[in-house]
Amino acid sequence: MSSALLRTVPALRGALRASGAIKPAAALASTSFVRGKATLPDLPYDYNALEPYISSKIMELHHKKHHQTYVTGLNTALENIAKAEEKGDFTKAASIAPLLNFHGGGHVNHTLFWENLAPASREGGGEPTGDLKKAIEDDFGSFDDFRKQMNTTLAGIQGSGWAWLVKDKESDTLSIVTRANQDPVTGAFEPLLGIDAWEHAYYLQYENRKAEYFDAIWNIINWKTVAKRHD
């Protein structure tokens, strides 16, 4: 198998399994693929539940159209790579690896993103508590300092991408990282909280005022979910 495919497969396999974004029957096994299908996850809230911070129209398009596109693309990439491997055509399999990374990453990232959010009338908003609160204060100074740094990082993303609060798997320290396009967080970092900076996440409501979107989304962050990932 080519070096490009060897790099892509293990990293994406781990991200898919960790997020629950792909069913066990469809998980990647070793360096080959088990036949199966990724599916679009149901949201734990209605499309209008995050208003006024994210509109119902954005949520519906983002989930039903954009996320579905990544699911479809991931399944197609998995199928085409499996077919190429069966024929021993590893050059073709490697050429599909970027699509696997893009669509697989898009599926992983969005699955985590939906879980990051909750209606403000329920678990959304406020500040973290417990061990997560302490970890943020230890590594950023205060929650407000963390939020400002995250917003600054988001504003600095050129084009499309994500900003993530991550935990180093060895040191347990927290930091903020960015990923271009739909590249997933893999390797030494565990993704805790991701914020989508693609235009499709905000433009219908905020247009070119993306800083307002970055400010607004803190009102619907589900800190219980972030804390579970941290623990």
- Please, what's the b/e burial string for 91-114 (b: 16 or more CB within 10 A of its CB; e: otherwise)? eebbbbbebbbbbbbbbbbbbbbb
The partner residues of 196 in beta bridges, in order of sequence, read 162
| Distance of alpha carbon 74 from alpha carbon 8, whole angstroms | 13
Whether 230 has a binding-site annotation, put simply, is: no
Say if residue 46 carries a ligand binding annotation. Answer: no
Is 48 within 8 Å of 57 (Cβ atoms)? no
The total number of residues written for the chain in this structure? 231
Task: Tell me: is residue 66 an annotated ligand-binding position.
Answer: no
Residue 62 marked ligand-binding = yes
Helix (H, G, I), strand (E, B) or coil at 5: helix
The string over 20-55, giving b where at least 16 C-beta atoms fall within 10 Å of a residue's C-beta and e elsewhere, is ebbeeebebeeeebeebebebbebebebebbbebbb
Q: Give DSSP secondary structure letters for 84-129.
A: HHHTT-HHHHHHHHHHHHHHHHHHHHHHHHHHHB--TTTTBSS---
Residue written as tokens 């967080």?
Answer: 185
Annotation: binding site: 62, 110, 196, 200
Annotation: binding site for Mn(2+): 62, 110, 196, 200
